């Protein structure tokens, strides 16, 4: 069996993402490191289209929610003695952000939920999971 020492978990707080995180914990060993990333995609404004510009209050509120979510994931990881860190990425494309981040860092595995909060659901895989699985140059575990 391959050792997965550096695992990236794509996380959007959906049920599929929670299962993906728990699966990453199950395969991780005490010397493994899990990096949980979430992607802030911006917002759609009918007058101008898609924009990455948030007002300060919205960003502060969203960051506080993410920190609370991440702290609960950290508790689960600590119970298993797994080193964990978090990264928030900002990109209009979730899959592009994930693949770009993976390609610029050293990971052994990507763990991603089969469907999430973003993208159009496809019959078998969500569009983000499908795109990451096709474009990543390392193994991808898609969790249902």
- What is the domain count for the chain? 1
Task: Give me the half-sphere count of Cα atoms (radius 13 Å) on the Cβ side of residue 101.
Answer: 24
pLDDT digits (tens, 9 = 90+) for 79-100: 999 999 999 888 888 999 999 9
- 60 or 28: which leads in pLDDT: 28
Domain that holds residue 112: 6-120+131-143
Task: Name the percent of the chain lying above pLDDT 70.
Answer: 81
Looking at the domain assignment, is residue 1 inside a domain? no
Helix (H) or strand (E) holding 56: helix 56-79
Q: How far apart are CA 92 and CA 41, in angstroms?
A: 4
Looking at the domain assignment, is residue 126 inside a domain? no
Structure tokens at 86: 């978090």
pLDDT score of 22 more than 90:
yes
Listed range (14-28, 41-55, 105-119) with the worst mean pLDDT: 41-55
pLDDT score of 68 more than 70:
yes
pLDDT score of 122 more than 50:
no
CB 55 within 8 A of CB 29: no
The CATH number of residue 34's host domain is 3.40.50.620
For the chain, give the number of residues.
144
Burial class (CB in 10 A: 0-12, 13-18, 19+), 48: exposed
CB 37 within 8 A of CB 85: no
> What integer pLDDT is reported at residue 118 of this predicted model?
46
Strand pairing report for 49-51 and 140-143: unpaired
CB 95 within 8 A of CB 61: no
Looking at the domain assignment, is residue 45 inside a domain? yes
């Amino acid at each position: 069996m391959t050792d997965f020492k550096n695992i990236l978990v794509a996380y959007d707080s959906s049920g599929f993402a929670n299962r993906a995180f728990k699966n990453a914990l199950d395969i991780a060993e005490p010397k493994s490191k899990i990096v949980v990333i979430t992607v802030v995609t911006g917002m759609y404004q009918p007058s101008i289209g898609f924009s990455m510009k948030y007002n300060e209050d919205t960003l502060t509120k969203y960051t506080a929610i993410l920190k609370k979510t991440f702290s609960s994931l950290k508790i689960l990881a600590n119970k298993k003695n797994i080193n964990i860190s978090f990264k928030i990425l900002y990109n209009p494309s979730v899959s592009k952000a994930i693949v770009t981040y993976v390609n610029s860092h050293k990971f052994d595995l990507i763990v991603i939920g089969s469907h999430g909060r973003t993208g159009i659901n496809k019959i078998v895989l969500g569009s983000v999971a499908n795109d990451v699985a096709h474009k990543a140059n390392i193994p991808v575990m898609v969790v249902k």
